[in-house]
Amino acid sequence: MSRALAWERFWFTPVETSTLALFRIAFGILVLGWTLSLAPPLYAFFGTEGVLPEQPQAGAGAWGLLGAFPSDAAVTVLYLLLLVGSLFLIVGFRTRLAAVLVFVCLVSFSRRNPWVLNSGDLLLSVLAFYVMLAPSGAALSVDRLLKTRSRFWDFPVRAVWPLRLVQVQISILYVAAVWAKVRGATWNDGTAISYAFRIGDLERFPMPEFLTDSLVLVNLLTYGTLAAELALGLLVWNRKLRPWVLLAGVALHLGIDYSVRAGFFSYPVLVAYIAFLPPETVRAWVYRVRDRAGRSRLRRLLPEAGRTPSGAEVSAVPPHSMESVGRR
């Protein structure tokens, strides 16, 4: 296969939009959670009488609506727009417009006060940009329902490039993280994890002393973290190794979230993992959930289902009936 053909196949192979639909829904839920978490400190972080009364000066090309409209009223409007946009993304209503709205709002908040955010918060903006470019409402959406109700559960094929952008982003993220760590001292001598566990201000749940005091275990965790991140950056592209590499990544980020208060650092990364799921696998999951929901609905509608008027048992509902229930 020529390089040009391989390049075209990598970026533009048509695939089912089941994975993209699941990614959009999960991302919308994540943005909704992020938005709700902003409610208590909203004006302290972004208001005109908060910790940073004015938007800091940034380099050329930097922009943000709160810089152009510096007021608490603008903060309120932008917050409500972000809330509505995230809800619209989840259900897939006016999906493209909702994605643009979410992207603009996320960037505006991050420009207004970058000092209260971390890399996970900023990754939200990047993922929102990809969702904005992608045909995110092509499946499992209100847009799809309004366009063709009878084929709501179908997954039309589209070019794979939006998911590839997410995959490449995650790969670069991990390679860059490893490169930054190995240029320091504590990751090279195997003690970095011990320092992370001892930062009291960031501690979520206390780690057992045998773990933090054992040099052998600390070395294993430190070098194991580097190995997992390097695998997530490189070996994730191997189809046979991918499930195991992603499982290692899930374990890594759940461990981080358990031990360290890192805000939304891990969650955008875990949502981005969805981009690596095969479309046929996601489709099977969706149909399984649909069919179970159909059976539950049938039980509610027919509380005496399974019995004839005389009380005799009837045969199970055939699979195609379950499918018709799920499609309604």
Tell me the pLDDT tens digit for each residue of 106-159: 999 999 998 888 888 889 999 999 999 999 999 999 999 999 888 899 999 999
Inform me whether the pLDDT recorded for 321 exceeds 60.
no
Q: For 183, phi and psi rounded to 5 degrees?
A: -85, -5
Inform me whether the pLDDT recorded for 56 exceeds 70.
yes
Q: Distance between CA 28 and CA 22 in Å, rounded?
A: 10
The pair of three-digit structure tokens given for residue 206, joined into one six-digit string:
């206390």
Inform me whether the pLDDT recorded for 327 exceeds 70.
no
How large a percentage of the chain has pLDDT more than 90? 58
Per DSSP bridges, beta strands 157-159 and 14-16 are: antiparallel
Q: Distance between CA 9 and CA 136 in Å, rounded?
A: 21
Inform me whether the pLDDT recorded for 316 exceeds 50.
no
User: Looking at residue 296, what is its pLDDT?
Assistant: 75
**Average pLDDT of 190-194?**
86
Residue that the structure tokens 């990598």 belong to: 10
Asked which of 24-28, 103-107, 173-177, 296-300 is least confident by mean pLDDT, the reply is 296-300
Is 66 or 88 the better-scoring residue by pLDDT?
Answer: 88
Inform me whether the pLDDT recorded for 249 exceeds 90.
yes
**Average pLDDT of 170-174?**
95
Q: What is the pLDDT of residues 197-210, one digit of tens each?
A: 877 777 778 777 77
Q: Distance between CA 209 and CA 221 in Å, rounded?
A: 14
Q: What is the mean pLDDT of the chain?
A: 86
Task: Provide CB contacts within 8 A for 117, sequence distance 6+.
Answer: 109, 110
State the CB neighbour count (10 A cutoff) for residue 146: 11
Q: Distance between CA 257 and CA 324 in Å, rounded?
A: 42
Alpha-carbon 62 to chain mean position:
25
Inform me whether the pLDDT recorded for 105 exceeds 80.
yes
Cα dihedral: 200, 202, 204, 207 (round 10): -50
Specify the amino acid at residue 210.
Answer: F
- Please write down the HEC assignment for all residues of 94-118: CHHHHHHHHHHHHHHHHHHCHHHCC
